[in-house]
A = this chain, B = another copy of it.
Amino acid sequence: MSTEHRLERLFNPKTMAVVGISLKGKDPASGWAAGGGQYIREYQRLGYEGHIYPIHLTATDDILGLKPYKSLLDVPEPIDFCVICVPPKAVPDVLEDCAKAGVKFAHIFSAGFSETGEPEGIELEKKVAEIAKKGNIGVVGPNCNGLAYVPSAKISMWPILPPRSGPVAYLSQSGVNCFQFITYGLGQGLLFSKVVSYGNAAVLDATDYLDYYAQDPETKVICAYIEGVKDGKRFTQLVKETNKKKPVVIWKGGVTSVGARAASSHTGALAGSEEVWDAFFKQTGAIRVSSLEELADVAMTLLYLKPRPRGNRVGVMLGGGGYSVQTADLCTKEGLELPIFSEETQKELKSFIAVTGAGFKNPLDSEPMAEHSEQIFGAIKTLSADPSIDTVIMSTELGFLRGAEKVKELTENLTQFAQDNPYKKPIAAIMDSAMARGDEMKEAVSALKKALPRAAVPLYRTMARLVRAVAKVTEYYRFCAEAKEE
């Protein structure tokens, strides 16, 4: 018999209660009912299958189709999860009721606690923590969106998110940031397992969510937006352990003094000094990012770039000398090396490509072969075979290929090659298509863009983003390999 993780019922609640529902002033038809009502409405929308119990002292009619109860204590079954949307001063009383009713987890949506910086709010948060501890309630928040998105449990805070589950878990001290990362990530081909917005972290902190994600079989990559952690030592230890098994990608907010000021008034977090966090990343090997784009690019690279790069030596092929120079600059700045191709590789390339100039060294200038899918494919194979290369980076304009058939041919060859992978080298690619004209061509391009990531060839929007993500992920695997050896 397997033991259930102590947060299992939080991410997979069988029953819910919602306290703090306003019945007036909002138009339920718009889908934006106030306070607790919006949680009921949104959780219903993705088809949450457990029971939801609205708690309301005076309501007699159904609330959003559900029978209201006057008190948590009246609910006829055990409650796994309670959403609390009452004014901050009323929170302790509701939480006391939760304790009495045996509620396992509570999400405090309400703001007005330590993030205010006021003694009253700080005191109130302490009280919440005490009641939670005494009553053994796992509290999410306060001051947050709670269970933002858990597709497997059919839970979603926002109406536009898809029901399909995936490998990316996210824990974030910001609710808006959850929404931004999910919508941006979906656009980049990411799917999510669990997303929690956990605000001030009065009770459950980053460490707790991370501990759950670390053992969650659905989760393959753990992403986090963190402003501060309460127990730095425990957190560092856990990230260090987890990161060896599942990559942990962290965006640390509040790294500047002005950012730290904002963090303090956002989640009451003590942001910690830049030095402390530098040391943390060095020690744990967690991947550090500092924007939405980077977070999504790194997660995508971890998921799709296969097999793992065995080192930081890249073989680059792309169209144009300037593009070669710019990419060489980018790679070098991010810690990727461009060794000059072996004599054998250069000879092999020259046997089927008519390059003038010296575009054979690395990068390979593939502009002259942009029309010929068999040459592009041949060059990828040749670069993969070079023993001085760990990862192949390529960029081409598909619109230069002479017809949709040629795009299809490249798609087939490349997916087959990436799957067979005779040289065990990953390929990261940019497939531009600004020049692709005609419906047939556009369809072929679109099919290629779907097929390649599935065949472990991730696609990127720009070279700067590709290089940054590949460099970070390469460094991550180096760290893991070194940690194993020790």
Contact check, B325 vs A32: say whether CB atoms are below 8 A apart.
Answer: no
Q: Which one of B180, B227, B320, B332 lies within 8 Å of A177 (CB-CB)? A: B320
B interface footprint on A323-365 (CB within 8 Å = 1, 0 otherwise): 1111111111100011000000000000000001111010101
Interface size class of A (residues with CB under 8 A): 35 or more
B interface footprint on A248-291 (CB within 8 Å = 1, 0 otherwise): 00010111111101110111000000000000000000000011
Contact check, A259 vs B328: say whether CB atoms are below 8 A apart.
Answer: yes
Contact check, B462 vs A325: say whether CB atoms are below 8 A apart.
Answer: no
With A259-B326, A464-B292 as contacts: A115 and B267 at CB distance below 8 Å:
no
Contact check, B320 vs A174: say whether CB atoms are below 8 A apart.
Answer: yes
Q: Cβ of A263: which chain B residues have Cβ within 8 Å of it?
A: 325
Contact check, A324 vs B262: say whether CB atoms are below 8 A apart.
Answer: yes
Contact check, A322 vs B225: say whether CB atoms are below 8 A apart.
Answer: yes
Contact check, A358 vs B464: say whether CB atoms are below 8 A apart.
Answer: no
B interface footprint on A113-125 (CB within 8 Å = 1, 0 otherwise): 0011100000000
Q: Which one of B253, B254, B256, B434 lies within 8 Å of A333 (CB-CB)? A: B256
Q: Which one of B265, B358, B365 lies within 8 Å of A357 (CB-CB)? A: B265
Contact check, A227 vs B262: say whether CB atoms are below 8 A apart.
Answer: no
Q: Cβ of A327: which chain B residues have Cβ within 8 Å of it?
A: 262
Contact check, A266 vs B322: say whether CB atoms are below 8 A apart.
Answer: yes
Contact check, B320 vs A176: say whether CB atoms are below 8 A apart.
Answer: yes
Interface core residue of A227, A319, A325 (most chain B CB under 10 Å): A325
Q: Cβ of A320: which chain B residues have Cβ within 8 Å of it?
A: 174-177
> How far is it, in angstroms, between the C-alpha of A320 and the C-alpha of B254 when the chains are bound?
14
Q: Cβ of A115: which chain B residues have Cβ within 8 Å of it?
A: 321, 357-358
Contact check, A176 vs B259: say whether CB atoms are below 8 A apart.
Answer: no
Contact check, B116 vs A358: say whether CB atoms are below 8 A apart.
Answer: yes
Q: Cβ of A332: which chain B residues have Cβ within 8 Å of it?
A: 256-259
Contact check, B322 vs A357: say whether CB atoms are below 8 A apart.
Answer: no
Q: Is A382 an interface residue (CB 8 A)?
A: no
> How far is it, in angstroms, between the C-alpha of A257 and the C-alpha of B340 when the chains are bound?
13
Among A359-392, those with CB < 8 Å from B are 359, 361, 363, 365, 367, 371
Q: Is A167 an interface residue (CB 8 A)?
A: no
Q: Is A446 an interface residue (CB 8 A)?
A: no
Q: Cβ of A32: which chain B residues have Cβ within 8 Å of it?
A: 371, 402
With A256-B333, A437-B160 as contacts: A325 and B293 at CB distance below 8 Å:
no
Q: Cβ of A337: which chain B residues have Cβ within 8 Å of it?
A: 258
Contact check, A338 vs B437: say whether CB atoms are below 8 A apart.
Answer: no
Shortest Cβ gap from A436 to chain B (Å): 9
Q: Is A183 an interface residue (CB 8 A)?
A: yes
> How far is it, in angstroms, between the C-alpha of A75 and the C-alpha of B195 when the chains are bound?
72
Q: Is A30 an interface residue (CB 8 A)?
A: yes
Q: Is A435 an interface residue (CB 8 A)?
A: yes
List the B residue with the shortest CB-CB distance to A434.
Answer: B183
Q: Is A423 an interface residue (CB 8 A)?
A: no
Contact check, A254 vs B325: say whether CB atoms are below 8 A apart.
Answer: yes
Q: Is A143 an interface residue (CB 8 A)?
A: yes
Q: Is A112 an interface residue (CB 8 A)?
A: yes
Contact check, B176 vs A328: say whether CB atoms are below 8 A apart.
Answer: no
Q: Cβ of A331: which chain B residues have Cβ within 8 Å of it?
A: 258
Q: Which one of B30, B319, B435 lies within 8 Å of A402 (CB-CB)? A: B30
Q: Cβ of A479: which chain B residues have Cβ within 8 Å of it?
A: none
Q: Cβ of A402: which chain B residues have Cβ within 8 Å of it?
A: 30, 32
Shortest Cβ gap from A147 to chain B (Å): 17
> How far is it, in angstroms, between the C-alpha of A330 and the C-alpha of B331 when the chains are bound?
23
Among A408-440, those with CB < 8 Å from B are 432, 434-435, 437
> How far is it, in angstroms, between the C-alpha of A112 and the C-alpha of B354 when the chains are bound?
12
Q: Cβ of A212: which chain B residues have Cβ within 8 Å of it?
A: none
Shortest Cβ gap from A269 to chain B (Å): 9
> How far is it, in angstroms, between the C-alpha of A180 and the C-alpha of B143 when the chains are bound?
45
Shortest Cβ gap from A51 to chain B (Å): 28
Contact check, A324 vs B357: say whether CB atoms are below 8 A apart.
Answer: no
A–B complex contacts, Cβ < 8 Å, 15 sampled = A30-B402, A32-B371, A115-B321, A115-B357, A160-B437, A183-B434, A227-B322, A253-B326, A254-B325, A258-B338, A262-B363, A263-B325, A266-B321, A267-B321, A293-B462
- Give me the 7 closest cross-chain CB pairs, A-B, nearest first: A174-B322, A176-B320, A266-B321, A265-B358, A259-B329, A256-B332, A177-B322
